[in-house]
Amino acid sequence: MYFPISDVHISAIALAFLGLVVGILGGFFGVGGGFLAGPMMYVLGIPMNYVVGTDLAHMAGKSVVAAKRHRTLGHVDMKLGFLMVFGTIIGIELGAQFVEYLQSWQCLELVNGVIYIAVLVSISLFVMWESRQSINIQETDVLPAKDAISFESVSKRIQAFNVPPMINLPNSGIKSISLWVILFVGIFTGFLAGLLGVGGGFIRMPALVYLIGCPTHVAVGTDLFEIVISASYGTITHSLKGNVDIMIALVMHTGAAIGASLGASLTKYLAGPKIRFYFSFLPLIGALLMIYALISEGVLTF
């Protein structure tokens, strides 16, 4: 099929199938899936300048569908999402500035690649270890077994950080937490996302669980809600620069929306620790793809 905007011939079925796969992952784990969709779009033959913008466009649409589905399941904390997005935007801008700084030192690819791999492997191993422990935890008085978390002491300590204004997040089961904590977590995860050039879902989802103390299902839904805002913002900026092929995005989104809706609905059949355990493999795949990219471009040699 011919796409005149990016001037390429690509199989529409392959695009829709790719969308379906990242849609299921996105709806189920609360990630945009850019770490998988981006490289695959490039492999399918989409020019690099269209890959990021078009991926963001399909991500915006898919996340709306998944977030809406999670909302119907009661898995979205709108208050937390709105508050955190301010920190996320500031963090993304800071991360982008740091990228400029690294670029001036001529070491962007190597430093960025190494940080990317270190962050993703750390998240993956930690979530894998923690979720395996949590799966064995029996029901407690505080949380039902499906929301068991073996690393709860950190989020409890963070919630006890008593700097006004203190807010409550009833949808996340959090009685009191400092607004500054939410903004800081938003800035931190946004900074990593801006630095690494990713949407940041696989950083933010664990941060919502382990730092803020959200139940896993709410973390997934709230993260998707944030992705709607950040991906829409990214789509606008990239589209104004002429880097979005909306026809490719629409074809991908045909599969992605169905996948996102399916993935989001499936979360209600699994307990939080199991979702986190399956999630832990995603950052590892991202890290492996980055290692492959660095080796094939000659940045890393063994």
Partner 1 sequence: MFIGMEPTKNLTAGELVSELLIYGGLMIIYTLVVLGYLSNHVYVLYKNDTLLYTLTALFLILGQGLLMENLATYIREKIEVE
Site residues (vs partner 1, CB under 8 A): 4-5, 57-58, 60-62, 64-65, 68, 71-75, 77, 170-173, 215, 218, 232, 235-236, 239-240, 242, 244, 246-247, 249-251, 253-254, 257-258, 261-262, 265
CA distance linking residue 227 with residue 64, whole number of Å: 9
Which residue, 56 or 290, is less far from partner 1 as judged by CB? 56
Least distance CB 173 / partner 1 (angstroms): 4
CA distance linking residue 186 with residue 177, whole number of Å: 14
Least distance CB 246 / partner 1 (angstroms): 4
Which residue, 112 or 235, is less far from partner 1 as judged by CB? 235
Cross-strand partners of 166: 178
Least distance CB 7 / partner 1 (angstroms): 10
Which residue, 24 or 181, is less far from partner 1 as judged by CB? 24
Which residue, 28 or 191, is less far from partner 1 as judged by CB? 28
Least distance CB 232 / partner 1 (angstroms): 7
CA distance linking residue 24 with residue 261, whole number of Å: 8
Which residue, 57 or 185, is less far from partner 1 as judged by CB? 57
Least distance CB 155 / partner 1 (angstroms): 15
Which residue, 253 or 276, is less far from partner 1 as judged by CB? 253
Cross-strand partners of 174: 169
Q: What is the DSSP string of 84-148?
A: HHHHHHHHHHHHHHHHHHHHHTT-HHHHHHHHHHHHHHHHHHHHHHHHHHHHTPPP-SSS-GGG-
Least distance CB 55 / partner 1 (angstroms): 12
